[in-house]
Amino acid sequence: MWVYEKKLEYPADVERINPRLAKEIIAQYGGPDGELGASLRYLTQRFTMPSNYGKALLTDIGTEELAHLEIIAALVYKLTDGASMEELKKYGFDDFYAIRDKAIFYTDPTGNPWTAAYIQAHGDPVADLHEDLAAEQKARATYEHLMDLTDDKKVWNTLAFLREREVIHFQRFGEALDKIQDELKCKKVF
Amino acid sequence: MEESRINILKSLQEVGFAVIELELYLDTHPDDMNALAAYNNLVTQQQNIMMNYERMYGPLRNNSTQSCYPWQWINDPWPWEIKY
């Protein structure tokens, strides 16, 4: 089971309202390399991961990604909270508004809904860990694109934190893959 | 939110982050005694700060601490509403 803590992992904040940036950042909420997909990918791969350290790592990183999903939602919330209809229109948020007002939903910036087709699980530790390594790099690249798109220092700092976490997750998944490949190389004597 | 409360929250986020970082590291380095000692030390610090915060400002976890009357869990601010 999971336990909720009534705090963010990182003090995510914004300098000012910016609905356009909110829409761009939605990429990491319900986009192909976003935090929802990351969390669900790891939390389902763990059931068929053979090694104990692999199960632990997928559980722990999958859980941290849920905290990152909450950070992304907090950014989107703060970037639109209090925005007037005029501001929503000016910053191109009117298409999102038409359906769901300022509700935060699992889509990419163009409105494509999140789909399980974004993620994979093959029950093969080498295949799954390679999928995870690629996913972390794609998420890192997306964070860098988002950092290019903002001059809001507080948003930038939050994105930089999340980007750095992808680098760390990549490192840990790489270590798990090395260990598993070493184990597979060991001669089995029956 | 008052500055003193923000400061405790930030220190909790700092320590909490270090705990998560070491937790992941230890998953692939379970024999690293120094990292384990640092982890144990930080977990204790985290528990102390959390207890301190909860005593002053109400529960951070909804099923691990006793509540004052009336039920405190429903009080704001929620995490996304806090300005740092």
pLDDT computed for residue A85 by the predictor: 97
The answer, yes or no, to whether residue A190 has pLDDT greater than 80, is: no
Contacts of B52 in chain A (CB under 8 A): none
Q: Residue A150: pLDDT band by 50, 70, 90 thresholds?
A: very high
What average pLDDT does this structure show over A58-85?
98
> Does A38 fall in a domain?
yes
Number of other CB atoms surrounding residue A26 within 10 Å? 24
pLDDT surpasses 80 at A189: no
Q: Residue B46 has what pLDDT?
A: 98
CB spacing of A60 vs B24 below 8 angstroms: yes
Evaluate whether residue A4 is within a structural domain: no
pLDDT tens-digit profile of B43-73? 999 999 999 999 999 999 988 888 889 999 9
Could you give the number of structural domains in chain A? 1
Check CB contact under 8 Å for B83 and A56: no
A85 lies in which domain range? 19-185
Q: Would you report the helix, strand and coil content of chain A in percent, each value rounded to 5?
A: 65, 0, 30
Looking at residue B65, what is its pLDDT? Answer: 83
Gap between the Cα atoms of A93 and A74, Å rounded: 17
Phi, psi of B61 (to 5 degrees): -120, 140
- Is residue A14 a part of any domain in this protein? no
- The verdict on whether residue A95 carries a ligand-binding annotation is no
- Predicted pLDDT at A59: 98
Q: What residues of B are in contact with residue A57 (Cβ under 8 Å)?
A: 24, 27-28
A6 domain residue, yes or no: no
Instruction: Give the nearest chain A residue to B6 (CA atoms).
Output: A11
**Cβ atoms of A16 and A87 closer than 8 Å:** no
Percentage of chain A exceeding pLDDT 70: 100
Does the pLDDT value for residue B25 go beyond 80? yes
Q: Which residue of A has its CA nearest to B77?
A: A6
The question of ipTM being above 0.95 is answered as yes
At residue A185, the pLDDT reads 87
- Whether A173 contacts A136, CB under 8 Å: yes
3-state secondary structure of A5: strand
Give the chain B residue whose CA is nearest to the CA of A9.
B13
Question: pLDDT tens digits, residue range A103-146?
Answer: 999 999 999 999 999 999 999 999 999 999 999 999 999 999 99
What is the CATH classification number for the domain harbouring A84?
A: 1.20.1260.10
**pLDDT number for residue A86:** 97
What mean pLDDT do residues B25-45 have?
Answer: 98
A8 vs B12: CB contact, 8 Å cut-off? no
Distance from CA of B80 to the nearest CA of A (A): 5
Dihedral sign, Cα of residue A179, residue A184, residue A185, residue A187: positive
Residue A24 resides in a domain = yes
With 90 as the cut, is the pLDDT of residue A13 above it? yes
B13 burial class (0-12, 13-18, 19+ CB within 10 angstroms)?
Answer: middle
Q: Do B27 and A53 touch (CB under 8 A)?
A: yes
**Smallest Cα distance from A116 to chain B, Å:** 26
In a domain, A5, yes or no: no
